[in-house]
Amino acid sequence: MKQKGLGFYLRIYGKILAQDLKSKMSYRADFIISTIGMIFTNIAGFVSFWILFRNFPSINGWSYYEMLFLYGFSLVSLTPVQCFFDNNWSLRMYVYSGDFIKYCFRPINLFFYYQSEVFDIKGLGQLSFGIGTLIYSWSKIGLGFTPLILMKMIVFLLTASLIMIALQNASAATCFWIQNSFYVLDLVLKFKDYARYPITIFSPVFRFIFTFIMPIAFIAYYPSLVILRPDEVPLLSWLSPLIGCLFFWISYKFWMYGAMKYSGTGS
């Protein structure tokens, strides 16, 4: 079979995306309510930071605006998993019902076919709020801005997002072997809330866990240091792009391994 290239998948994704957006916009009230809910969720997070720092001007050497920068960084880096990989939440239902089998007979990449079926447009609201938070905190901290800094920002945001995508891919794929896999996926979702905090505020045990076992420190803390504190960038920050790509590749292989072992209802 002839190997299909990137251009082929981009064209296919464009067509799938157009159909998905048409379907969502036919229920505009649901879309508007969901988007407003997403915005208020992010506003609540912003308010919690403000309330916390009314009593504490800094936490372990991190100022309010530096913490706010991490919060905005995490929101932007989490947007790709929100928009493009939201279908992972439905994977267990397709597997248990046997409907997942329909994805196994198309002559295209199985992972791409399944994930491309859903685009969560609500994630764009999160993206806008995250960018606004970054710009606001950036100006308050007084960070410089050059084309090189912008390029670093884009690269490290994209590679940071690969960590959360990888965690969600791997946890969702456990449904190929575990019946109650929802709790695994839900646990990972809860862990991501810690990504908005600097790892230095945690005990050494949790620093190790959040770096090497559940690597949420790479969602915001390590990659953002390249921009936020350029004079004290640790090696792990520079390794973030490599680590993000590695974790995504491993999660993709794990997801595909489970999918290839799938044989219908009861697998």
**Close Cβ partners of 257 (under 8 Å, ≥ 6 residues apart):** 173
In terms of Cα–Cα distance, which of 118, 130, 203 is closest to 161? 130
pLDDT in tens, 168-200: 999 999 999 988 888 899 888 888 888 888 898
* 77 vs 61: CA distance, rounded Å: 24
Contact in structure between 254 and 170 (CB atoms under 8 Å): yes
- Identify the pLDDT of residue 27: 67
- Tokens (6 digits) for 166: 């990888």
**Close Cβ partners of 196 (under 8 Å, ≥ 6 residues apart):** 45, 67, 70, 71, 74, 220
Contact in structure between 155 and 149 (CB atoms under 8 Å): no
pLDDT at residue 265 tops 60: no
pLDDT in tens, 67-120: 889 999 999 999 999 899 999 999 999 998 888 988 888 788 999 999 998 888
Beta bridge partners of 58: 63
- Identify the pLDDT of residue 1: 45
**Close Cβ partners of 97 (under 8 Å, ≥ 6 residues apart):** 265
- Identify the pLDDT of residue 73: 94
Contact in structure between 82 and 126 (CB atoms under 8 Å): yes
Helix H or strand E encompassing 255: helix 240-261
* 160 vs 74: CA distance, rounded Å: 9
264: confidence class by pLDDT, cuts 50, 70, 90: low
- Tokens (6 digits) for 165: 């995508």
- Identify the pLDDT of residue 18: 80
Q: Which residue type, as a one-letter code, is found at position 76? A: V
pLDDT at residue 23 tops 80: no
**Cβ-count burial 199-229 (b if 16+ within 10 Å, e if not):** beebeeeeeebbbeebbbbbbbbbbbbbbbe
- Tokens (6 digits) for 217: 């420190």
Q: What are phi and psi for residue 85, nearest 5 degrees?
A: -125, 25
pTM for this one?
0.86
Rounded mean pLDDT of 6-16?
82
